[in-house]
Amino acid sequence: MKRVLITGACGSIGKQLAKRLLDDGEKVCVFDNNEDGLFNLKNEFSQFSKNLRVFLGDIRDEKRLIQAFNNVEEVYHCAALKHVELNEYNPFEAMQTNVIGTNNVVSAAIKNNVKKVLITSSDKAVNPSSLMGTTKLLAEKLAISANNQTGDNDVNIGCVRFGNVWNTNGSVGRIFRNQIINNKDITVTDKNMSRFFISIKDAVDLCIESCRDLIGGEIFISDMGAATIGHLANEFSKHNKKIKVVETGLKAGEKLYEELFTDVESTRTYVYQNMYVIIPDSLDPNNSRLDRLNKKYKVNKPIGEALRSDSVIAKKIDMSNMVKDIIDGS
């Protein structure tokens, strides 16, 4: 039985991750600045009261993190500001949470000798056009390079990258669902825009599997499928013949496609089980992790090219069942 802490535990992924770990018999500490969310989470998980501890706090406060991380063996860092447009107009707040907050998490983990730290990131960190993506890229860089700073402490830090997590708070699926329920036209910025999608379950699986395999310095990415927003909107419109799909133009920070990894990263990206793993290029040559990373992941040739959501090699997904599930409230 491990003692695990989750930041951002009131969010869609953090909450499901907490539930999975509690089901597995782990001792789980939930950390969030959402008082009502923590109160509701504690009541919802009352059957796990012996293995659940609740921390009200903010990742911007390193001292509070140091207190919360005491005797913790693994940290899943899910807390973040994630909405692209809001981040564009509130840049300092985004930096305070996504960059400085992540640095605080890493620093608190090192000071408490936490064995494993997994930072949740986004495909928007790849060649970012938005402020949110830029802050996520910086957070990744901070996390990976921190493996050079752990000294004699056995603290191993890595990242996972998600695409668009399906049916989460503020996700495109929920927005489209609300529009058709209220007989409003479905609004898309550009029908040709493409995105990678991952379910909450698969996102949680990726976190747990990545933390299990983590050596230190890796970026783990699920083999996600992609679809255009126009195709997704058309699937939703089938459930309300009265509405139409309307293009509104790109919002601040948006781009037409996303990438799971860049051309440069692809030269050190390998297929491992059901995921991609990017081996770091920023570790000190004398870092003892390098040999273990190479032996574990360099079994096959590197991918060798970027993977974009609009690429012919990107795995396509059938959105019809996913749309039906969200319409039915699943």
pLDDT exceeds cutoff 60 at 330: no
Distances (CA, A) of 132 to 50, 138, 231, 318: 37, 10, 25, 28
Half-sphere exposure of 302 toward its Cβ, with a 13 Å CA cutoff? 16
Cβ contact 249:229 at 8 Å: no
Identity of the residue numbered 231: H
In percent, the amount of the chain with pLDDT more than 90 equals 86
pLDDT recorded at residue 282:
85
| CATH code that applies to domain 3-165+200-223+261-302 | 3.40.50.720
Helix, strand, coil % (nearest 5) of the chain? 40, 20, 40
Range 213-219 average pLDDT? 96
Domain coordinates in residue numbering, the chain? 3-165+200-223+261-302
User: DSSP 3-state assignment of 265?
Assistant: helix
- Residue from 15, 27, 82, 124 carrying the catalytic annotation: 124
Q: What does the alpha-carbon distance between residue 274 and residue 226 come to, in Å, rounded to a whole number?
A: 16
pLDDT recorded at residue 151:
67
- Concerning whether 184 is annotated as a catalytic residue, the answer is no
For helices 172-181 and 320-327, angle between their N-to-C axes, nearest 10 degrees: 60
| Predicted TM-score of the model (pTM) | 0.95
* pLDDT per residue as tens digits for the range 136-149: 999 999 999 999 98
Identity of the residue numbered 210: S
